[in-house]
Each structure stands twice: as structure tokens, then as C-alpha cells.
Amino acid sequence: MALETLSEHRCFCGVQGYYRHASAVIGLPMKFGVFVPPQAAQGPVPVLFFLAGLTCTEETFAIKAGAQRVAAELGLMLVTPDTSPRDTGIEGASAAWDFGHGAGFYLDATQAPWAKHFRMESWITQELRECVLSSFAARADRVGVFGHSMGGHGALTLALRHPSLFQSVSALAPIAAPTQCPWGEKAFTGYLGDDRAAWAEHDATELVKAGRKVPPLLIDQGLADNFLAAQLHPHLFEAACKRAGQALTLRRHEGYDHGYFFIATFVEDHLRHHAQTLAAH
């Protein structure tokens, strides 16, 4: 699969790079970032996919989270996909910050005109995964996924829907019950139509209720997050996990909001969670 290098930067004795490839799944060029730790020079290393939130790009986490130092220490590769197709030509795709460009919600749309290009689930779980495994020194049997907000939703749902692909999972301030919040209702109506049974297949709380399981989860949530009450609903996911016997550590933090200062504070804990879980796999 042809890979175009957009830029590469020395970082904590590894390399932070940005790349683009012609995606057959999406039907458009797609961008992503990869941090390759120094240990990859000696052989394949575990790889973590980080799924970013609304309005973000492939650069946001790599620039703002400060994750490379710990990833270099632990020997973890970090992959940061863009959050949607770009330049789709779809009328109105850039009209709202919470739907369309920058807001792919990590699913495959079924409704016109979105279904042609908005196929983020297939891109990440199939094409991008294979691109990373074939182009970088990444271990196919040590793959984790985590994310923030919309990307936390994506990390949870993709892991629950594709348990054989991901051996470790975590999330920061995820949209944990999207069928019960305005962001999710807007996105799912637009991408999936009015059938709420189809929505449930992309809702982490509903997937856990239906019996899907993943390795032990770590979730961090700030209590000063202005989206907590209306959009995120971690308490619903927590209750579903308790009833289903899904192992979950949900940590609530006074004073922390929804942004990257919160992510930067707790990202080391998430990287260590993944390193420990993957090492035990």
C-alpha cells in the first residue's frame, strides 16, 4: 500500500511522522500520524491507536498530549488517525463542528450522501490497521485502542465490536451512551438514519448490555467537564458494566475539564495501562 510521507521529526530518540495514503475504503486520501519509539529499531513493538475527538485532526493528540516521552520509555508505537474524511465535496459537510468533516464518529455511514466516504470503522479496523502493520515495525498481536470524547466512544465501540483486533482498551471522557445524548442523536440520525436498533450497534453502553466484552477497561473523567451531564453519561456505562461483569476502572477527577490539559495529566496512566495489559496478553 503506497504511503506518502508528509513530514518526520526526531522525538525522544524515536520519530513522530505524518503520512497520507489513498484509501480504497474511504475513496479519498486519508492522513494519520505515527510515533515510532526507539525500540522499533530492534524489532516490532506494541501499537496503540488513539482516536481523537470532535474537530481534531491526525496532529492534535501528537502535538498536545505529551505522550511521546512515556511511549518512548515503554516502547509503544502511537497511531493517530484523522477524525473523518476531508474534502468530500458533500454539501454542508463543513457546516457544523459536531457533524460531517472532523466528526466521523468512527462508524460506517449507511445514509446518503455520507455512506460513500464516511466509512471510518472499516478504514481504521481494516485498511489503516493493515497499512500500519505492513509499513512500520508494529506487532499484530499487541494492538490497543484508546481515545477521547468522540474518540473515546470510538475506542470503546470498535473494541467491543471487533474484540479480536484489540488486546487493550481505555478512554478519556468518552461519549459513553451516544444514543442518549444530543451529539450521538444528531450524528446517528445523519449517518445511520432513524432505526435505533442500528444506533445501538454503535453505543458502548448498549453493546455491553448485549453481552459484548473487552479486556479490563480504564476510563478517566473530569468532574468540571462542561459536557459531562448532557453528553457523556459515564454513569450509564458504569452501571451496564457492573451488571454485565465487564471489568472497569472509572476514575472521576475534581476540577478537570474536557480539554487536552486533562488528557495530558492522565495520558501516562493510560499508556502504562496498555503496556501492562498488552504484556500480559
- Residues noted as catalytic: 149, 225, 258
Strand partners, 213: none
**Using an 8 Å Cβ cutoff, are 146 and 48 in contact?**
yes
Residue 245 CB neighbour total at 10 angstroms: 10
Alpha-carbon distance 46 to 166, whole Å?
A: 11
Cα Dmax for the chain: 51
Residue 108 is which amino acid? D
Mind giving me the DSSP string for 226-243? Answer: TTIIIII-HHHHHHHHHH
Beta pairing class for 168-172 and 217-222: parallel
Mind giving me the DSSP string for 26-84? Answer: TSSEEEEEEEE-GGGGSS-EEEEEEE--TT--TTHHHHHS--HHHHHHHT-EEEEE-SS
Q: 185 Cβ partners below 8 Å, 6+ apart? A: 178, 179
Tell me which H or E stretch contains 185.
helix 182-192
Q: 7 Cβ partners below 8 Å, 6+ apart? A: 17, 18
